[in-house]
Amino acid sequence: MQKQALISVSDKSNLLEFAKFLVEQDYKILSTGGTYKHLQDNGIEVTEVKDVTGFPEILDGRVKSLHPAIHGGIMARRSDENHMATIAEHGINPIDIVIVNLYPFFEKMNTGLSEAEMIEFIDIGGPSMLRSSAKNFYDVTVVTDVNDYEVVMNEIRENGSTSIETRKLCAGKVFNLTSAYDAAISTYILGEDFPQFLESSYEKVMDLRYGENPHQKAAYYVDKTKNGAMKDFEYLQGKELSFNNIRDMDLAYKVVSEFEEITCCAVKHSTPCGVAIGDNILEAYEKAYECDPMSIFGGIIAFNREVDGKTAVELNKIFLEIVIAPSFTEEALEIFKQKKNLRIIKVKNPVSDKVTYVKVDGGLIVQSTDNQFSTDLKVVTEAQPTDRQMTDLVFAQKIVKWVKSNAIVVATNGQAYGIGGGQTNRIWAAQQAIARAKEKVEEDLVLASDAFFPFRDVADFAAENGIKAIIQPGGSIKDQESIDACNEREIPMVFTGMRHFMH
């Protein structure tokens, strides 16, 4: 009995070579719709599925392969005499190879299509054939990954058929794909951040050099259903990325995206070590560098504006892992080429996370993204902040949100001078940030805290060390003590009513 291969694909890459090979190996080719026409137009002998089923395509092509003549040929176990007798009784021939990839639902998401248009990209027949074939992988070779064409051809060429190991691997890829495909459809239709079952549609785009440490393996996956700053970025130069690189890139770009002004952020070990705004991109970098010249060494630098040649010259003066920005001038790119290992990353999409995930052992914690700032700012002291102080307080608040708790940021004139974070005690974070700031500047410093002061010690220490204004959420049962501490020294303090823990 002549072997049969069924082909129905939206991605026709390398298809003609594969189909010609199967014909040469005496396979009868069955096909549908656009794939049938593509094969026929290229001189490949092909039989249309409707000629096998005896039933035409109907409902604008929605129904064409959902038929016992197709699924019976796929699902029949060759080692089961009853199965083989049944399909023979009904004139059904076994189908040995199924080559299917799906309607481009992934690719059509976030393209502005209407709901009615998107629904037509939900593939029904394709997943059905794939799942049928994958279930019967002992007998059927199912191919959905274009990269597997060569593997299948080589095995048939050398052994006359594919190995059980290859068939099992290809079947596993099917369920991996269809689960992600169904998850994307569910995400689109439900439109919920917290559905009953948490689904995901992530595709691996690269293996990473290593994880947090060299002995850990790592890979990078992107969301097939949503865009974001760390998706589809353009890798302009440099060595391969590591796990830590991508985490730091993500944080750095999120920080600069908080600001409308020209902004630079330096990140080291997943925390900001310098943030500043400037009248131009070079000034923003120089001010961010000044915050912590030691930590910035070997760090990640992000900008929210195009990087020019003058700034590239300054960046090249120190060792950096990554420079990330929405664009680069040609002059800047030429200058960066002097450091071939320096990674230059061009961001194409805006920051757009709506939920964040934290993996725990045996579970996943999901929350809405902290993308808000309070607009209800209340001055709770007798002293009132000046306009400049209020501007600096808001600036520092936008940074402290991205610093590991407990977090304190000390700043002035659109420039962070001291960043203290990751401490188990808030006073320690304050001492750290203020000490670092005072190494560089003594005047007009303001302080932002990510959470309330549980005691008056932070307010006392800040006042005793030259801090001129404070912003914090408030909400402690001892708020009045901190207010009193500020009033005693005529320092303004602003309550936001909104905490920004980042653990």
Span 4-190: which CATH code?
3.40.50.1380
Q: Is the pLDDT of residue 63 over 80?
A: no
Which string of DSSP letters, residue by residue, matches 223-252?
ESS---TTSS-EEEESS---HHHHHHHHHH
* DSSP assignment letter at 498: -
Which string of DSSP letters, residue by residue, matches 90-133?
TTPPP--EEEE----HHHHTTS---HHHHHTT--SHHHHHHHHH
Catalytic residue, chosen from 12, 135, 337, 438, is 135
Stated as kind and residue range, the H or E segment containing 184 is: helix 164-190
Report residue 107's pLDDT band, with 50, 70 and 90 as the boundaries. Answer: confident
Percentage above 70 pLDDT, the chain: 100
Residue 98 near residue 141, CB atoms below 8 Å? yes
Least confidently predicted of 7-11, 45-49, 60-64, 296-300 = 60-64
Report residue 359's pLDDT band, with 50, 70 and 90 as the boundaries. Answer: confident
Could you give the residue range(s) of every CATH 3.40.50.1380 domain in the chain? 4-190
Which string of DSSP letters, residue by residue, matches 401-431?
TTSPSS-EEEEETTEEEEEE-S-SSHHHHHH
378-495: CATH topology = Cytidine Deaminase; domain 2 (3.40.140)
Cα angle 184, 189, 190; round to 5: 100
Q: What are phi and psi of 455, to 5 degrees?
A: -140, 175
Stated as kind and residue range, the H or E segment containing 153 is: helix 149-159
Mean of the per-residue pLDDT values for the chain?
92
Mean pLDDT of 171-199: 88
Task: Give residue 364's pLDDT.
Answer: 86
Q: Is the pLDDT of residue 60 over 80?
A: no
List of residues 6+ apart from 136 with CB closer than 8 A: 74, 75, 76, 77
Could you give the residue range(s) of every CATH 3.40.140.20 domain in the chain? 232-346, 378-495
Active site residue 269: yes
Q: Two tokens at 18?
A: 């594969």
Distance CA 52, CA 50 (A): 5
Catalytic residue, chosen from 12, 269, 310, 346, is 269
Task: Give residue 472's pLDDT.
Answer: 96
Active site residue 168: no
The answer to whether the peptide bond before residue 245 is cis (omega within 30 degrees of 0) is no
Write the class of the CATH domain 232-346: alpha beta
Task: Give residue 68's pLDDT.
Answer: 85
Partnered with residue 410 across adjacent β-strands are: 418, 447
Cα first-last separation, the chain: 65
Task: Give residue 112's pLDDT.
Answer: 85
Q: Is the pLDDT of residue 198 over 90?
A: no
10 Å Cβ neighbour count for 443? 8
Q: pLDDT digit string (tens) for 110-123? A: 888 999 999 999 98
Q: pLDDT digit string (tens) for 428-463? A: 999 999 999 999 988 899 999 999 999 999 999 999
Q: pLDDT digit string (tens) for 397-424? A: 999 999 999 999 999 999 999 999 999 9
Mean pLDDT of 315-324: 96
Q: Is the pLDDT of residue 191 over 90?
A: no
Q: Two tokens at 303?
A: 């900008």
Half-sphere exposure of 43 (CA within 13 A, CB side): 3
Distance CA 104, CA 210 (A): 32
Mean pLDDT of 9-37: 91
Residue 132 near residue 125, CB atoms below 8 Å? no
Residue 302 near residue 274, CB atoms below 8 Å? no
Report residue 2's pLDDT band, with 50, 70 and 90 as the boundaries. Answer: confident
Distance CA 96, CA 324 (A): 49
Q: Two tokens at 5?
A: 């291969």
Which string of DSSP letters, residue by residue, matches 321-385?
SEEEES-B-HHHHHHHTTSTTSEEEE--S-----EEEEEETTEEEEEE------S--EE-SSS--
Sign (positive or negative) of CA dihedral 461, 467, 472, 476: positive
Task: Give residue 152's pLDDT.
Answer: 94
